Amino acid sequence: MPLTCRGRVRGQEPSRGDVDDALGKFSLTLIDSLDTLVVLNKTKEFEDAVRKVLRDVNLDNDVVVSVFETNIRVLGGLLGGHSLAIMLKEKGEYMQWYNDELLQMAKQLGYKLLPAFNTTSGLPYPRINLKFGIRKPEARTGTETDTCTACAGTLILEFAALSRFTGATIFEEYARKALDFLWEKRQRSSNLVGVTINIHTGDWVRKDSGVGAGIDSYYEYLLKAYVLLGDDSFLERFNTHYDAIMRYISQPPLLLDVHIHKPMLNARTWMDALLAFFPGLQVLKGDIRPAIETHEMLYQVIKKHNFLPEAFTTDFRVHWAQHPLRPEFAESTYFLYKATGDPYYLEVGKTLIENLNKYARVPCGFAAMKDVRTGSHEDRMDSFFLAEMFKYLYLLFADKEDIIFDIEDYIFTTEAHLLPLWLSTTNQSISKKNTTSEYTELDDSNFDWTCPNTQILFPNDPLYAQSIREPLKNVVDKSCPRGIIRVREESFRSGAKPPLRARDFMATNPEHLEILKKMGVSLIHLKDGRVQLVQHAIQAASSIDAEDGLRFMQEMIELSSQQQKEQQLPPRAVQIVSHPFFGRVVLTAGPAQFGLDLSKHKETRGFVASSKPYNGCSELTNPEAVMGKIALIQRGQCMFAEKARNIQNAGAIGGIVIDDNEGSSSDTAPLFQMAGDGKDTDDIKIPMLFLFSKEGSIILDAIREYEEVEVLLSDKAKDRDPEMENEEQPSSENDSQNQSGEQISSSSQEVDLVDQESSEENSVNSHPESLSLADMDNAASISPSEQTSNPTENHETTNLNGECTDLDNQPQEQSETEEDSNPNVSWGKKVQPIDSILADWNEDIEAFEMMEKDEL
Ligand code: DMJ
């Protein structure tokens, strides 16, 4: 935990849910970093680290862990460590004492994971108790029915390596069986797989399909299993899936999820950050062009937000603002550089490193971004940061002679652990399974480039890669807001009009109402002015219309939830700027619905002082201490607005309310906005922010240690730079009062920039018209809400030339008046099943709803 400078021990910190399943009290980060040390030529440190693992790590813990995470990070880490330990031993200088101890640990762990495979399908349970296995009452696991495709399909490299290193064939057999089952279960007409599957029945639970979260490394392991094991069946499977991915999911430069049995239909309007590994995999397959395109698109998103947000929309807005320092984009950058030799990718790597140092580096490591928009941190540095990010970034810049072994002799697992390619010819006792499945005949385009190599790819055209990137340079900044652009092929073929899109819908347009009626959708005007949509599929004119109606409702649900989300105030940042923090620690803070709006005004900077009484519920008895400062107040016992008034009357320039629930943290609890007291709060002029107890105690601890602590309250963390260190003020109270005004004005230029940036975000976020579609028929598109409330005041987002008008300058107030005009969608009960298409569609909708709830 890089903010509190401690290790995260499962059970000793509040649970963060599924993400904690990677932690098994087995020194995860130490094991996951072993082979990175050798790559970075830290051989001595590697030797010490291996000794520590052998001395301290216990695998027999009564902890329920994720089978997938334990496999890729711990088993993979031990095997990567073993692979490089024997390489070093053979060289004769280091690790001379090593006697396969890491491999023995890996084998012990492998046996601990095996009970997870005790299912009729051969797909593993998602979790296992390291000490008690599955199902036993003490195990506290084994009742799960579903797992993700990547969870069941990302075992073969580690398990096969374990078998081949040790001669114990059982591991490779189990991993192969799971892969065989997934292959058999692929959706036969599309050749795609869903995101989650029932481990007992083999039914797809989530039928959406992409290349990111939940599926990603299943595809990666098919191709890499072929590379490591030389087994053609894995390549044939990979090529069949790859053909389907390029046919349905790839919409260059985007990669968009679709439904497995209706692959022409997009399942989402956003992409997740995990898919950033895909260009790297495309390089390994040899398909460079789309790799360059997607990578460039992702880079543009990164340039806008400094990091790749966990999810972003097809018009490149933030969907989930978190960024846990994931390595996938660095991984793809490394592979693209290897394939093209284009120095552009070194520049990309440089930007990644600069951003990490500038925004994520904290005194005890690198902190995940809680919100890329505010630049706030989370007390978390996942083990993959050292296992993968460091490794790929180092390798990107390393010359051959910088690495003490030949990296080309190894394959990277999904966690970037190194397994030697000579395993392909060792202990091959597992006979290639003769699967009964026929492989799809693929056309030649699938194999256009099968051997990525600079000479072959770009013999006479060193600018080849650049020419592919160039048109994508402005894809993010100049992008017209877009929605789901894929329209059923049949509709076009038959010349039929595409169905009415949710975002085009105008409740006052008689033509639209007619289409709605045809689709079985009725419109109910509620007393408060809102409209409610209800669909009775049975009332549709035909099953095709009913299908269109369902699709329309699905879009409307998504639009509505997106709009609701966008009406919330975004989180704010509290940045500690005084010595020794100098802006490196940024805490996620909840905004207030009253007081100074930090997104519209300058940030507020000042020293902090605790108010007396600490709850701030009565006139302060220490006004001299808080005068000109930012007052700290404890949550509870009176309204937030009352606290704000009391500290304002005492002369405070801002306030931070700290949660009184001990141990609460923005890592585990959702942030909220501090509401007013139901009365007019216009008299409150100072900014107020809320911190959970864990974040608040970082400030309180800093006061205890350094006495004078200065913070910056803003909507987005200010770039830390040497200037901030120079700005450190003499620490007297008077100085603190004086400097707050002075510094605000002296930094106003920067503040303006921040303001511009944030108003851009806010304006985009708060304007549903930014969701409008650059439509296929070039019609100007108008926000549904504005149209509903005032059909004469059209705000075009796309003109007939396809140019975007500037949405960013529209005043934010508009969005507030829009609140009530959002359609509130509800589902009508189906009276009876219509036909199989509609049944299918219902499944889609359920899958869609589940997907929305799902976390990465
Ligand atoms: C890593 O643990 C692995 O790369 C995994 O396959 C998915 N992604 C995480 C890091 O983002």
Residue range 721-752, pLDDT digits in tens: 565 655 544 433 333 333 333 332 222 222 22
- Can you tell me the mean pLDDT for 22-50? 98
Does the beta carbon of 693 lie inside 6 Å of ligand 1? no
- Centre of ligand 1 to C-alpha 324, Å, is 11
Report residue 426's pLDDT band, with 50, 70 and 90 as the boundaries. confident
* Residue to substitute in 66, 156, 217 for testing ligand 1 pocket (most ligand atoms within 8 angstroms of CB): 217
Comparing 214-223, 484-493, 725-734, which segment has the lowest mean pLDDT?
A: 484-493
Using a 6 Å cutoff on CB, does residue 414 contact ligand 1? yes
pLDDT at residue 507, as a whole number: 75
Q: What is the mean pLDDT of residues 593-605?
A: 88
Question: For residue 585, how far is its CA from the centre of ligand 1 (angstroms)?
Answer: 26
**Is residue 784 scored above 70 in pLDDT?**
no
CA of 414 to the centre of ligand 1 (A): 6
Asked whether the predicted pLDDT for residue 812 surpasses 90, the reply is no
Which span out of 427-431, 831-835, 847-851, 852-856 was modeled with the highest average pLDDT? Answer: 427-431
pLDDT at 829 over 80: no
* Ligand 1 centre distance from Cα of residue 382 (Å): 10
More confident residue, 486 or 774: 486
Percent of the chain with pLDDT over 70: 76
C-beta of 821 in contact with ligand 1 (< 6 A): no
Residue 770 beta carbon below 6 angstroms from any ligand 1 atom: no
- What are the start-end ranges of the E strands in 469-602? 521-525, 531-535, 572-576, 585-589
- In this prediction, residue 475 carries a pLDDT of 77
Q: Does the structure show a pLDDT above 70 at 608? A: yes
Query: Tokens 């003020």 sit at which residue?
Result: 729
pLDDT of residue 669: 78
The per-residue pLDDT for 371 is 96
Q: Note the pLDDT of residue 440.
A: 65
CA distance 397 to 571: 36
- Rounded mean pLDDT of the chain? 81
224-283 per-position pLDDT tens digit: 999 999 999 999 999 999 999 999 999 989 999 999 999 998 999 999 999 999 999 999
pLDDT at 643 over 50: yes
pLDDT at 566: 56
The pLDDT, as a whole number, for residue 150 is: 98
**Local confidence band at 494 (pLDDT 50, 70, 90 cut-offs):** very low
> Are the C-beta atoms of residues 615 and 634 closer than 8 Å to each other?
yes
Mean pLDDT of 605-621: 95
Instruction: Please choose, from the candidates 83, 113, 75, the residue with its C-alpha nearest in 3D space to the C-alpha of residue 100.
Output: 83
Helix (H, G, I), strand (E, B), or coil: what is residue 239?
helix
Confidence of residue 555 (pLDDT cuts 50, 70, 90): confident
Measured distance CA(751)–CA(686) in Å, rounded: 17
Pick the residue whose CA is nearest to atom 3 on ligand 1: 415
Give the model's pLDDT for residue 716.
Answer: 87
Percentage of residues of the chain with pLDDT beyond 90: 58
Q: Whose CA is nearest to atom 1 of ligand 1?
A: 415
Residue identifier of the C-alpha nearest atom 8 of ligand 1: 274
- Pocket-testing residue among 211, 328, 380, ligand 1, by greatest number of atoms within 8 A of Cβ: 328
CA of residue 586 to ligand 1 center, whole Å: 25
Mutate to test the pocket of ligand 1, among 157, 310, 414 (most ligand atoms within 8 A of CB): 414
In terms of phi and psi (left: phi > 0; alpha: psi -120 to 50; beta: otherwise), the region of 301 is alpha
Cβ–ligand 1 contact at 323 (below 6 Å): no
- Distance (Å, whole) CA 291 – CA 712: 41
Tokens 């704010």 correspond to 572
> How many C-alpha atoms does 333 have within 13 Å on its Cβ side?
30
pLDDT of 680: 84
Is the Cβ atom of 588 under 6 angstroms away from ligand 1? no
Higher pLDDT, residue 261 or 443: 261
Residue by residue, DSSP assigns 689-713 as: EEE-HHHHHHHHHHHHHHS--EEEE
> For 345-382, how does the pLDDT look when each residue is reduced to its tens digit (9 = 90+)?
999 999 999 999 999 999 899 999 999 999 999 999 99
Q: In this predicted structure, what is the pLDDT of residue 432?
A: 57
pLDDT value of residue 700: 94
Residue 279 C-alpha to ligand 1 middle, in angstroms? 15
**Bigger pLDDT: 558 or 251?**
251
Residues that are catalytic: 69, 216, 310, 328
Check whether 172 has a pLDDT greater than 90. Answer: yes
Distance 356 CA to ligand 1 centre (A): 18
Ligand 1 probe mutation, 21, 156, 223, 388, most atoms within 8 A of CB: 388
Q: With H, G, I as helix, E, B as strand and everything else as coil, classify residue 205.
A: strand
- Please work out whether the CB of residue 384 comes within 6 Å of at least one atom of ligand 1: yes
Is residue 415 in contact with ligand 1, taking CB distance under 6 Å? yes
Reported pTM? 0.68
Spatial separation of the C-alpha atoms in residues 285 and 763, rounded to whole Å: 41
CA of 415 to the centre of ligand 1 (A): 6
Q: Give mean pLDDT, residues 118-125.
A: 97
Q: Please calculate the CA angle 26-127-158 and round it to the nearest 5 degrees.
A: 65
SS3 sequence, 376-410?
Answer: EEECCCCCHHHHHHHHHHHHHHCCHHHCCCCHHHE
> CA torsion 33→34→36→37, rounded to 10°?
120
For strands 311-313 and 270-272, give the pairing. Answer: antiparallel
Residue 41 is predicted with a pLDDT of: 96
**pLDDT surpasses 90 at 757:** no
> Which of 193-207, 294-308, 452-466, 827-841 has the lowest average pLDDT?
827-841
Ligand 1 atom nearest 328 alpha carbon: 11
pLDDT tens digits for range 60-69: 999 999 999 9
Closest residue by Cα to atom 11, ligand 1, is 326
